Amino acid sequence: MPQWSGYLNLILEGAVVTVELTVMGSLLALVMAFLGGLGRLSRSAWVRALATVYIEFFRGTSIFVQLFWAYFVLPLLGVSLTPLQAGVLALGLNVGAYGAEVVRGAIQSIGREQHEACVALNLTRWQCLRHVIVPQAFVIMLPTFGNNAIELLKGTAVVSLISLTDLTFQAQVVRAQTGSTALPFLTILVIYFAIAAAISLGVRALERHLTRGLDGVRT
């Protein structure tokens, strides 16, 4: 049992890395989702084209390939990244591409009367988006953003391929040292589920908070 407590500490160290990847990757994904989504709605054909290329490229290629490019190919171009940085970059850009379509769809779902009200108030397009449209659309985006964050969490397992000591990597280390497969992987299964549950609860709490007072606005 004392020996297993040491292995448990090893897995918990991996959990810290996984949480770091999830938090930083989600922040990058959120930024890219809004850039991509708003880019798809831009009046500029060049901006729309650039946003479309980003979204289709990262949705249409494998996260494994993207991760290997970030860690092994970018250094050949003069951009060296640590395993953590490469993992955050690949995960954030990949999930952000999916989130961009969520942003676009949510903004387009806001009723035309909201846009007309902005015109009546003489708001600029940016002011309309910032103060009227996006606050309402963000509530619509939240459930899918929560799902995307959980998908990103599960996707962090791929970083073990570049020797980043996340949960999956540490479980493999414990399995190699002990010969036991069930116990370490059952442990990380529970940890992944606990983190995912925390994300779900956090998103639901935020959604409840933001929807207060919005029902009247929407109707």
Count the domains in the chain: 1
Higher pLDDT, 113 or 17: 17
pLDDT digits (tens, 9 = 90+) for 107-140: 888 877 777 777 777 777 778 887 788 888 899 9
Alpha-carbon gap, residue 36 to 99, rounded angstroms: 8
CATH, residue 156: 1.10.3720.10
pLDDT digits (tens, 9 = 90+) for 142-188: 999 999 999 999 999 999 888 888 999 999 999 888 888 888 999 99
Domain membership of residue 32 as a residue range: 2-218
Q: Full-prediction pTM beyond 0.75?
A: yes
Q: What is the band of 215 on the pLDDT scale with cuts at 50, 70, 90?
A: low
pLDDT digits (tens, 9 = 90+) for 64-103: 999 999 999 999 999 999 999 999 999 999 999 999 999 9
State the SS3 of the chain: CHHHHHHHHHHHHHHHHHHHHHHHHHHHHHHHHHHHHHHHCCCCHHHHHHHHHHHHHHHHCCHHHHHHHHHHHHHHHCCCCCHHHHHHHHHHHHHHHHHHHHHHHHHHHCCHHHHHHHHHCCCCHHHHHHHHHHHHHHHHHHHHHHHHHHHHHHHHHHHHHHCCCCHHHHHHHHHHHHCCCHHHHHHHHHHHHHHHHHHHHHHHHHHHHHHCCHHHHHC
What is the identity of the amino acid at 29?
A: A
